[in-house]
Amino acid sequence: MDHETAWRPDHGPVPDPVRSTEQLDRSEALRLLGTVPLGRIVFTHQALPAIRPMNHVVEGENVVVRLDEGASHASLVAAPGEPGIVLAYEADAIDPDTHLGWSVVVVGYAELVVSRDETERLAALLGPWMNQPMAGVLRIRSELVTGFRLGLEPRPISAAG
């Protein structure tokens, strides 16, 4: 018996379901992103791709992350007066056993939050999850939001058995 079938003593082998992919619209993708506290920021560091886990909150169509002190985070922020750096943020909730769930990617321009009041308000929402001092708050202004949901699609049972 191959790995795609399960055995039922009363009826013999039963095929496992096929997983289907459903594309999410922008609003549903952002809603799902707001239901999890952690994701991964994708950026360029020393001319190479870099990915770091981070906690986030979703405000409207923007993703807000807390920056901890660290050399690689300098790659996330543009110099004052320059347009924001383009980066991506990804989060998901996929069950490791069933492989069901969803994944969302936000691509947009990064901007350092400079208002002290806004930084303090957002920092309170972004409690630290690592024991490092906060170096700032970064807002990702979403340009492109994509996502998909992994669901079940029953596999047809062949007449041949």
| Domains of the chain by start residue, with CATH | 20-152 (2.30.110.10)
pTM for the structure as a whole: 0.79
Q: What is the pLDDT along the chain (161 residues), one digit of tens a residue?
A: 444 444 445 555 545 667 789 999 999 999 999 999 999 999 988 889 999 999 999 999 999 998 877 645 666 777 666 778 899 999 999 999 888 999 999 999 998 888 899 988 998 888 776 777 777 889 999 999 999 999 987 655 655 55
3-state SS, 72-118, equals: HHHHHCCCCCCCCCEEEEEEEEECCCCCCEEEEEEEEEEEECCCHHH
Beta bridge partners of 15: 5
Task: Identify which of 107, 131, 134, 112 has the alpha carbon closest to the alpha carbon of residue 123.
Answer: 134
